[in-house]
């Protein structure tokens, strides 16, 4: 999903340089970007709606200590575009959006900030539906929910789905098994050496799934104590952050930061499969996607196998059912299988194959109308959110 950043640089004209934001939006295909400011409560946020061809834009809000506003803007444009592809390839009637709040999630949170943000979300009238992401908590989402009904991932006690991490991890697990079947002829993870980068909620739940199958697990995190705790629970081995890339492993599973497969790390990789829950694992999806293909490393596109989160929270739009959400997430296995087969049949990288299939779905739906209008899909009942079946 990072390729468009390079495309932006290549396509700008002198006139475009006078309006770089509009140039970036046009190149990436974004419909709307909202800059939100409430200095009195410390709110600086950006909401990006990428594409609403398939339905309202759904995507989480993350709170992060960006170095500057440009980094925040690039991140929200990149992430919102990725959500469009994630929803499309997962068969959801949803578009892609994302929001970022600029600030330290450990120091800068307060109720008034999140309530103010909720009012901005509400002002979009349902074109954007938010959810929990990096740096956010269920309490933060409760505060946002107090100002707008266009929120998913609220606590189960309030009728929502709660923390989506266990479902995200399950989707990564199913995608990993599909890639394993492609590489080895069997989807069993018993005896497979799996290197997990990260020890957060998704990574720890993933480790539990693969430990039950008898995999040999290596795990790392920049916070050593977190990794050691997961390692102890799952009979895994802790390794340092720098060691994780060069391990002799069958599967490398990045579940923390993006851009970890890059010019510096790629030569060190010694695995057959890359399948992880992090977003934007490839620093350059074209360059590094081709490099992995040339080396015979199977890459399960990240936005496909980590789609369990959006599948889970999207279920709230029709009344949350955990069992149904898990069944839908299990289909990630078949989706990955289809992508890997399509890539082989058409001599494409797995990223190219996945992007093409997602774009075909968006294009076919787009013939009947592009821009999403919330009025025909959401009820007017305060505090409740419904979406009609658009199939």
11 belongs to the catalytic site = no
**What pLDDT score does 198 carry?**
96
Q: Is residue 382 part of a domain?
A: no
**What pLDDT score does 364 carry?**
86
Domain range for 296 is: 165-360
Token pair recorded at residue 363: 């294009």
Q: Is residue 372 part of a domain?
A: no
- Domain's final residue, options 110, 128, 155: 155
Mean pLDDT, rounded, for 339-356: 97
The answer on 78 and 32 residing in a single domain is yes
Instruction: Look up the CATH number of the domain holding residue 207.
Output: 3.40.50.720
- Domain's final residue, options 135, 155, 175: 155
The answer on 74 and 27 residing in a single domain is yes
C-alpha angle 136/256/344, rounded to 5°?
125
Q: Is residue 190 part of a domain?
A: yes
Distance CA 117, CA 102 (A): 12
Token pair recorded at residue 352: 């190219």
How would residue 164 be classed by pLDDT, with cut points 50, 70 and 90?
confident
First to last CA, the chain: 27
Helix, strand, coil: what percent of the chain each, to 5? 45, 15, 40
Round the CA-based radius of gyration of the chain to a whole number and report it: 20
- Of 58-72, 146-160, 224-238, which range is least confident? 146-160
DSSP string, 39-71: GGGTEEEEEEEEE-SSSSEE--EEEE--SSHHH
Instruction: Give the number of other CB atoms < 10 A from CB of residue 374.
Output: 17
Task: State yes or no: pLDDT of 383 exceeds 70.
Answer: no
The answer on 169 and 62 residing in a single domain is no
**What pLDDT score does 271 carry?**
98
How do residues 320-329 score in pLDDT, each as one tens digit?
Answer: 888 999 999 9
Mean pLDDT, rounded, for 47-70: 95
Task: State yes or no: pLDDT of 389 exceeds 80.
Answer: no
Listed residue (20, 8, 57) closest to 377, CA to CA = 57
Q: Is residue 380 part of a domain?
A: no
- Yes or no: say if 46 and 70 are a contact pair by the CB < 8 Å rule: no
Instruction: Look up the CATH number of the domain holding residue 133.
Output: 3.40.50.10860
Find the length of the chain: 391
Q: Count of domains in the chain?
A: 2
Q: Which of 6, 11, 44, 98 is catalytic?
A: 98
Helix (H, G, I), strand (E, B) or coil at 289: helix
The answer on 266 and 196 residing in a single domain is yes
Prediction pTM value: 0.83
Q: Is residue 160 part of a domain?
A: no
The answer on 263 and 355 residing in a single domain is yes
**What pLDDT score does 60 carry?**
93
Alpha-carbon torsion 318, 322, 325, 327, what sign?
A: negative
Categorise residue 323: left if φ over 0, alpha if ψ from -120 to 50, beta otherwise.
Answer: alpha
Rank 150-159, 161-170, 230-239 by mean pLDDT and report only the highest.
Answer: 230-239
The answer on 230 and 131 residing in a single domain is no
């Amino acid at each position: 999903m990072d390729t468009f950043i390079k495309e932006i640089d290549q396509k700008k004209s002198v006139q475009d340089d006078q309006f770089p934001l509009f140039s970036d939006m046009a190149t990436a295909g974004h419909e709307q970007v909202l800059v939100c400011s409430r200095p009195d409560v410390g709110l600086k946020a950006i909401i990006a709606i990428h594409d609403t061809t398939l339905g309202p834009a759904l995507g989480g809000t993350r709170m992060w200590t960006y170095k500057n506003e440009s980094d925040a803007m690039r991140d929200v444009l990149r992430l919102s575009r990725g959500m469009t592809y994630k929803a499309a390839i997962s068969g959801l009637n949803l578009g892609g959006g994302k929001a970022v709040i600029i600030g330290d999630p450990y120091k800068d949170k307060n109720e008034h900030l999140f309530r103010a943000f909720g009012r901005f979300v509400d002002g979009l009238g349902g074109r954007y539906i938010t959810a929990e992401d990096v740096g956010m908590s269920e309490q933060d989402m409760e505060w946002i929910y107090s100002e707008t009904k266009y929120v998913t991932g609220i606590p189960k006690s309030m009728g929502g789905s709660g923390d989506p991490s266990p479902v995200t991890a399950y989707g990564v697990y199913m995608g990993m098994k599909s890639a394993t079947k492609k590489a080895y002829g069997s989807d069993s993870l018993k005896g497979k050496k799996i290197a997990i980068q990260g020890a957060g909620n998704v990574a720890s739940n993933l480790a539990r799934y693969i430990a039950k199958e008898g995999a040999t697990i290596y795990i790392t995190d920049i916070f050593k104590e977190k990794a050691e705790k997961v390692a102890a629970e799952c009979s895994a081995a802790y390794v340092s952050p720098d060691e994780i890339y060069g391990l002799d492993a069958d599967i490398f599973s990045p579940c923390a930061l993006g851009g970890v497969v890059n010019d510096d790390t790629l030569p060190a990789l010694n695995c057959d499969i890359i399948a992880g829950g992090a977003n934007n694992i490839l620093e350059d999806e074209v360059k590094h996607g081709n490099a992995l293909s040339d080396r015979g490393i199977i890459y399960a596109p990240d936005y496909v196998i980590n789609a369990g989160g959006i599948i889970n929270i999207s279920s709230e739009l029709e009344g949350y059912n955990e069992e149904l959400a898990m069944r839908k997430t299990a289909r990630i296995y078949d989706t990955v299988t289809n992508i890997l087969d399509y890539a082989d049949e058409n001599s494409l990288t797995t990223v190219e194959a996945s992007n093409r299939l997602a774009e075909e779905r968006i294009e076919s739906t787009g013939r009947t109308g592009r821009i999403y209008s919330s009025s025909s899909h959401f009820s007017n009942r305060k505090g409740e959110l419904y979406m009609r079946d658009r199939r």
